[in-house]
Amino acid sequence: MIYSGFKEIHIDFTATIRTSALSQFNLKGYRFEQIQKILKLKKKGLTDKQIADHFNSLNIKTPTGKNYTRQLVLMTRYKYNKRILRSKEYSVEVSPITLTYVFIKK
């Protein structure tokens, strides 16, 4: 049998990409604005207690309508930072690549 070259090449592999970012919803509106205010005040050097007191003195409520506490400000920042880190995490796995040549018979 004589082969005069190949007609097709089949390349088989599996690529798996894992990320938590795709399952996150975007923060919008009031919730996003409050987080940005908290981060801005923290950057200016205020403590979590001072931020809570500041919001409460201005009658600014949480997205669920409650007064702010030191612990709530702390957890808001903590969860937001975890969200940012999670959005940057991903892994890629590629299985071994298999090449299959299809030859033409003559």
Q: Please check the confidence at residue 103 and state whether its pLDDT lies above 80.
A: no
Domain ranges across the chain: 3-101
Global pTM?
0.59
**Alpha helices by DSSP H, the chain:** 29-43, 48-57, 70-88
Residue from 102, 37, 38 nearest 75 by CA:
38
pLDDT in tens, 28-87: 777 888 899 999 999 999 999 999 999 999 999 988 899 999 999 999 999 888 888 877
Residue 41 to residue 53: CA distance in whole angstroms:
12
Cβ atoms of residues 15 and 93 within 8 Å = yes
